[in-house]
Structure 1
């Protein structure tokens, strides 16, 4: 399991367009009319914060960061799908779509998107049960105009009749695009087995039926009524982050958002319980489309939001979801019942809460899920008996205080979204600190919540591919059945000693001093340069936190030995990760993570986090990598799990399946999912054991250490790596990494997908990988992104998934056009793509200065945290290849190339790149008919065997 997570989604409107709300007004700017609070913040957070409440009762959090490379804003409205009127399911979601399609002040439907795109930003929104969130990022100099445009969403949207009809089709396309998503299919079953009076028991996405015009009831009228009823300033929380001072941000926000009408709407609430008394206990078995084996126990509990200072459910989740030695998961693995386990709260805001325990089952566990439940309730009983101890709370408090003190600077988009949500949950002074607060241990509160975690209060949701199902969830067609569980029998007492609650965490960092920076150059230094081991080092002088990142790349002749070598390396990495899981889980909780990943040439190893005990963890990782246990029972389950995940790729949305075929179609060595699964099925434990004895011989190692380390410490780590991973003189790797470079004919490959939607991916590769080609392709991708979306999505309504952008393969520059459609066939999509390309010369480069500036601004962005900086340095090292000279100024060269892009060169480049003879089409059906010149790809490997190729370092 990856333990790095967390350490390191011109057109004139008709004259009769109708607007609602009020016109923009100038709000009072007298600070005495505002309620102002300064939230408590982390000592390492360089940003300044101000929480204000406007006279219209809108809550606003201002964030000033003079050094930010991106400005951002998020508006969270405390109304979501729970407020959908009866018979108008999906209306809140539909309204979210419509707000982007024109306001009274900015009526063009693509005006907002075009502005955000050419200003170097991005935007999106989502609708939840209890809230709707709108957000954007933008280059800082454009924030004032973005704030003004964004404000109009909440004052005077148009809801133009023309686009109501069109966007309804987009919502329906979104519903159809995800109709085979097993998460939504499982949720559709839950809506059928929960209390009909509870908001979560309703369809929330919307489709052509729920959003249809009816006699004396147009959906546009319903939108107007919903907006007028629910979009009130007192239900809104706005976060704005920019370079301006807090005073300047405040002036802008007051002027533009003070005029948002306040209808003084009461908070949304619903007292209906999630389940009725006769609905629990129940076992619900449903049939997934993917190969899923999951047991999900759901316990309705009182919402814990008011207990954010005590965090009772977090404490319970920590004990039940722990993955260390003698944990619940360990016991389930020993019996061969499970591969993974997760526990935590599912918070529905004002509509209640559930505590969820989710277990990824093995085939044996699927058949013996009653046994799995026995183990779960045994662990819960153990907590009742031994878990109500103050020291456990104090340990969580200590870790939270360290993490709050040494916070990384979060990226602007996630920061503003998270804070807008927090403003609805926490008091103003604690809006930044609340997730880290552990103020008071309350054993009685824990005991109260434990009373809800009983077999009698549980709904069991089970996924099973086989079986008899007598019911079917409407809209998603999920087969399911409802069972009454047999009386619960506790686990035999003689087995109870096999599980224990977590011991004190030995990895909690105690040495948190930030070292003095020694004299050093601008870029990492090649500190060790030997035939089999190279090591670069750089001490961090920017972020000044007690963390570091260690990267190791092992190139192994055994791992590079074709399909068998790749499969053996995948299995080997998974076995080592599994073995290390129990040992490393406490380190993960203490902010120290790692990962081992098999590649086409060997292994990539990463260790990141607090540097206090990194050497200890790295030592354990290397020992496990060299001498793993490789137990037969675990091997069988791990191989089955990898094969299951690989095979589930053919249940991804069609456009993702097509994109995933780009690499195996063009790159060597790379194989299809079917080839990987077949090879894995034919690989036994004996094969992996042979691999374990040979993979280090003749290997080459590149290493990079960056952060709060001294040069001597970096050398010690390199010595440790060399002693374990270097055996004998380095040997050349078999084969050559190479990428097909189409220069003639054009190609097409049909990919069969198990989905009713059609999809098409059109890939165009640059002529070469020069800085000039990369620069022109970046500007071209930036220039066509918004027009492509507006044309094929907003105007033509070809589908919900529509995008264009860069997509390098093996770092060779390329560009894709992508659409997934419920109605248009692949040939029709191809015609739409070509029509877009044919019309491009009439407008391409019209906004060149703005588009080029947007690309340059993104490239000039400084890393926000230590992990991002480490990744940039490592990318430069990896790009050089074995023995190559590292180029740490690639970005600077690319910026120079970008400054040379002009209208003539961009149009010439676009003409060359979009030449049909340089095209690769991946479609759910064939798009080309004779006598069009095209090479149909039937045999991928035979296709790749022909040249020419670009040889990858």
Structure 2
């Protein structure tokens, strides 16, 4: 049985007015903070659109005490954590996650940057150009413009109709009155009464409170400032409107005067609207050929107002007909007396999601301060909302409530668990994958149960890999993905993340999450994948990606040796060879997986060779893009598969991250999407550099990256002995069992298996990092510069020419 969910967080208001939520989670390996400021884009004076977004950016540019190179972003990244911020209509959020030992220092940096921003004029000019680049990309992005057009039916006086991103024209940093407005906004809203701090970690509530008090002491104390209520959403008596786009239709409902708990009520309604199960709205629309997809969401909610958006994708019928179907289903939904079964299932899935959430996810949930589930006041609010939208007593008889999620209840023991093909009762589930390879046995299971991770926790991971005779066509890939949709949705709600990728001739099914649920999810997933039919051909239209995200999605396939394509799923399954890796599973879960594993299609094979990865020479791939912006990824694999080389590449990536960002984004102003880090693809480790720019061409971006790489030896030489020791220790600590999440550890071990390493890979990696010295790093930097492991360029532009070889 899954362990009980984490208790609700402790909440209180500190003496200086800062509201805090504190959640002690035993066993969680990271600590996280989420700070919500009750101020956003709609709180800015009309004369300065984008000021709130601009201020959010400025806060990350360093303070007198912590310059940018030592600030929150650099600190979190150097310790293997996560950090980001977001400006919305009425709130601004800052959040990060770190190992517990580093958490106090992270909080110190966050409070310092909020309380004492430097506001340097030169920094402001440079950062305004970043917002200008974002604005140019936004103005050219079709999806962003369609989203903006959704609000055209609202009142022209409502702030949703305004421009809030900020650009060169709206942010006159040279003017004294703009600087005064910037200071006034910061002083008015960035004080304790306007903030909620949520802390989550393995620390006790008392320890978290002490951290919160230390954080609060650095902030400006002050009462909460009222945020002005907006005008009505619509000028006309109508409370809704519709918009027709190319192959999609949109219904928007402007809701006013909403009662307490409306946010919970709308979340509940959207969840069931988005259900794809038989008997629901989406399933009926697909069956009748009216639409291929449906997405319900609440893009705006504040001060008793909300905007409910229903989007129909792949719409072939009239929007009036779709609206009629929507209202018919909604009337059926409203007729259910207080929704007891749906409320019970919804509460269960929220509990499951919290159970498998990491510290950062929990901190962000706590910052929303919403009730968990649908309480009585939310039921009353939902009835009010349904009344405002307009429901009737008469509706069609074909609707019915969705079937219960089969994974949310305790899993029944699977009958006849049986043995895995090729496995004997003498050795089922007892070996690590290193031991499996070292024993000379004719009968060995292709699914290797590793003891590299402890098996006494709630969570585990399963990887199943197929090597096929040919790559799946795009149409077949769409069929496979669509076949998994219902299983994937149910699994995610029950605490298991399920993904399937058909990359070239390497197909991978990955399940991570609550181990008690893994066997039954695997069984359902395999059944869905192997019963792909003609009705699975159509998938929902996928949202357009910005160029850099297109490249990231395409990179894994471009790193493989090209193979022919096939759309014959049955033949590909039958002739494929499969193996797998299971981690963190108890003996009971291993036994329960027997039936599912016996049904894996293909030929079991525990000696499948490593994926055929291209790692020689300078290879350039181009993908098509509708964007006028230029994007480039440069992937630089290690010179060998030796762990010593991987350790050196990881150290170089660790040292590069902040200087690369500083050089290309801050100093060179090349674009807003700038990143670097170590990436593992099909078992191949490599340094990955990425840039998207509205001005520089791919060839120019490549030149900037090469110049940066040429300076790597100097970067290593500049480190004194103490700094090198500290950086080495910081990196090694990221692979400590005490801070590495089970999901991250499982992925590292899977990549290690693909690379041919043993199951003590993590221990070996930490040891290799600890042994790195300056000469080893300098030698690695030279091998990287000489591209001894090959370089892969992927861009939305043609090859720059010799010495690069364009892929055919």
- The bucket for the TM-score relative to the shorter chain is 0.7 to 0.9
- Which of 366, 377, 392 does residue 341 from structure 2 map onto? 392
- 1:209 counterpart SS class: coil
Question: In 1, distance between residues paired with 2:537 and 2:602?
Answer: 30
Q: Counterpart of 1:653?
A: 546
Q: Counterpart of 1:36?
A: none
**Does structure 1 conserve the Cα–Cα contact (< 8 Å) formed by 2:455 and 2:585?**
no
Q: CA deviation at 1:901?
A: 0.9
- Structure 1 residues 390-539: aligned runs within 5 Å: 390-396=339-345, 399=348, 403=352, 407-408=354-355, 410-419=357-366, 421-422=367-368, 425-426=369-370, 434-436=371-373, 438-440=374-376, 445-454=381-390, 496-503=396-403, 508-510=408-410, 523=432, 534-537=446-449
- Structure 1 residues 165-204: aligned runs within 5 Å: 165-204=125-164
- 1:897 counterpart SS class: helix
Question: In 2, distance between residues paired with 1:351 and 1:189?
Answer: 23
The alignment's TM-score, normalised by the length of structure 1, stands at: 0.73
The C-alpha deviation readout for 1:4-49, integer Å capped at 9, x for no partner, is: xxxx9xxxxxxxxxxxxxxxxxxxxxxxxxxxxxxxxx9554x996
Question: In 1, distance between residues paired with 2:583 and 2:610?
Answer: 30
Q: Counterpart of 1:740?
A: 614
- Which of 106, 114, 118 does residue 158 from structure 1 map onto? 118
Q: Counterpart of 1:852?
A: 728
Are 1:283 and 2:242 an aligned pair? yes
- Which of 213, 217, 231 does residue 190 from structure 2 map onto? 231
Q: CA deviation at 1:94?
A: 0.2
Q: Counterpart of 2:54?
A: 94
CA gap 1:359/1:935 in 2 versus in 1, 3 angstroms: same
Q: CA deviation at 1:303?
A: 7.6
- Structure 1 residues 507-906: aligned runs within 5 Å: 508-510=408-410, 523=432, 534-537=446-449, 544-545=457-458, 550-555=462-467, 559-561=468-470, 563=471, 565-567=472-474, 569-570=476-477, 572-574=479-481, 576-577=483-484, 581=486, 589=493, 596-601=500-505, 603-606=507-510, 621-628=525-532, 630-631=533-534, 634-638=535-539, 645=542, 652-660=545-553, 662-669=555-562, 688=568, 691-692=569-570, 694-704=571-581, 710-711=587-588, 714-715=590-591, 717-722=593-598, 725=601, 737-743=611-617, 746=618, 753-844=625-716, 846=719, 847-862=723-738, 871=747, 874-876=750-752, 879-880=755-756, 887-906=758-777
- 1:234 counterpart SS class: helix
Q: Counterpart of 2:419?
A: none
Q: Counterpart of 1:148?
A: 108
Question: In 2, distance between residues paired with 1:325 and 1:726?
Answer: 31
Q: Counterpart of 1:380?
A: 330
- 1:76 counterpart SS class: strand
Q: CA deviation at 1:568?
A: 7.0
Are 1:937 and 2:805 an aligned pair? yes
CA gap 1:346/1:834 in 2 versus in 1, 3 angstroms: closer
Question: In 2, distance between residues paired with 1:61 and 1:922?
Answer: 44
CA gap 1:522/1:204 in 2 versus in 1, 3 angstroms: farther
Are 1:348 and 2:301 an aligned pair? yes
- 2:574 counterpart SS class: coil
Q: Please say which of residues 328-337 and 386-395 is displaced more in the overlay.
A: 386-395
Question: In 2, distance between residues paired with 1:666 and 1:396?
Answer: 43
The C-alpha deviation readout for 1:874-906, integer Å capped at 9, x for no partner, is: 5555555xxxxx721111111111111111211
- 1:767 counterpart SS class: coil
Are 1:300 and 2:201 an aligned pair? no
**Does structure 2 conserve the Cα–Cα contact (< 8 Å) formed by 1:375 and 1:491?**
no
The C-alpha deviation readout for 1:590-629, integer Å capped at 9, x for no partner, is: 556755543434644456666777666655554555555x
Q: CA deviation at 1:779?
A: 0.5
**Does structure 1 conserve the Cα–Cα contact (< 8 Å) formed by 2:86 and 2:94?**
yes
CA gap 1:321/1:491 in 2 versus in 1, 3 angstroms: farther
Question: In 2, distance between residues paired with 1:654 and 1:842?
Answer: 32
Q: CA deviation at 1:787?
A: 0.9
Q: CA deviation at 1:770?
A: 1.0
Larger Rg belongs to: 1
The C-alpha deviation readout for 1:407-462, integer Å capped at 9, x for no partner, is: 5353233333332x22xx35xxxxxxx324x443876544322112249xxxxxxx
Question: In 1, distance between residues paired with 2:556 and 2:523?
Answer: 35
**Does structure 2 conserve the Cα–Cα contact (< 8 Å) formed by 1:336 and 1:637?**
no
Q: Counterpart of 1:470?
A: none
CA gap 1:795/1:616 in 2 versus in 1, 3 angstroms: closer
Q: CA deviation at 1:510?
A: 4.3
Q: CA deviation at 1:77?
A: 0.8
The C-alpha deviation readout for 1:360-398, integer Å capped at 9, x for no partner, is: 22xxx33533332222121112223x3224533553366
- 1:359 counterpart SS class: strand
**Does structure 2 conserve the Cα–Cα contact (< 8 Å) formed by 1:509 and 1:613?**
no
Question: In 1, distance between residues paired with 2:378 and 2:215?
Answer: 45
Q: Please say which of residues 700-709 and 771-780 is displaced more in the overlay.
A: 700-709
Q: CA deviation at 1:184?
A: 2.1
**Does structure 2 conserve the Cα–Cα contact (< 8 Å) formed by 1:193 and 1:279?**
no
Question: In 1, distance between residues paired with 2:82 and 2:62?
Answer: 17
Q: Counterpart of 1:210?
A: 170
Question: In 1, distance between residues paired with 2:87 and 2:771?
Answer: 43
**Does structure 2 conserve the Cα–Cα contact (< 8 Å) formed by 1:53 and 1:59?**
yes
Question: In 2, distance between residues paired with 1:609 and 1:732?
Answer: 27
Question: In 1, distance between residues paired with 2:708 and 2:574?
Answer: 54
The alignment's TM-score, normalised by the length of structure 2, stands at: 0.84
**Does structure 2 conserve the Cα–Cα contact (< 8 Å) formed by 1:663 and 1:670?**
no
Q: CA RMSD in A?
A: 4.2
**Does structure 1 conserve the Cα–Cα contact (< 8 Å) formed by 2:749 and 2:761?**
no
Q: Please say which of residues 864-873 and 346-355 is displaced more in the overlay.
A: 864-873
Q: Counterpart of 2:266?
A: 313
Question: In 2, distance between residues paired with 1:279 and 1:169?
Answer: 41
CA gap 1:848/1:417 in 2 versus in 1, 3 angstroms: farther
Question: In 1, distance between residues paired with 2:158 and 2:171?
Answer: 21
Question: In 2, distance between residues paired with 1:888 and 1:274?
Answer: 59
**Does structure 2 conserve the Cα–Cα contact (< 8 Å) formed by 1:762 and 1:818?**
yes
Q: Counterpart of 1:13?
A: none
CA gap 1:635/1:198 in 2 versus in 1, 3 angstroms: same
- 2:635 counterpart SS class: strand
**Does structure 2 conserve the Cα–Cα contact (< 8 Å) formed by 1:74 and 1:240?**
yes
**Does structure 2 conserve the Cα–Cα contact (< 8 Å) formed by 1:56 and 1:260?**
no
Q: Counterpart of 1:12?
A: none
- Which of 87, 98, 123 does residue 138 from structure 1 map onto? 98
Q: CA deviation at 1:752?
A: 5.6
Q: Counterpart of 2:421?
A: none
Question: In 2, distance between residues paired with 1:104 and 1:715?
Answer: 59
Q: CA deviation at 1:80?
A: 0.6
CA gap 1:237/1:348 in 2 versus in 1, 3 angstroms: same
Question: In 2, distance between residues paired with 1:751 and 1:696?
Answer: 29
The C-alpha deviation readout for 1:168-216, integer Å capped at 9, x for no partner, is: 11111122233333442123213433222322222121110111247x5
CA gap 1:446/1:49 in 2 versus in 1, 3 angstroms: closer
Q: CA deviation at 1:869?
A: 5.8
Q: Counterpart of 1:359?
A: 312
The C-alpha deviation readout for 1:895-937, integer Å capped at 9, x for no partner, is: 11111111121122112211378545445556858xxxx2343
CA gap 1:149/1:707 in 2 versus in 1, 3 angstroms: closer
Equivalenced residues, count:
785
Question: In 2, distance between residues paired with 1:193 and 1:551?
Answer: 48
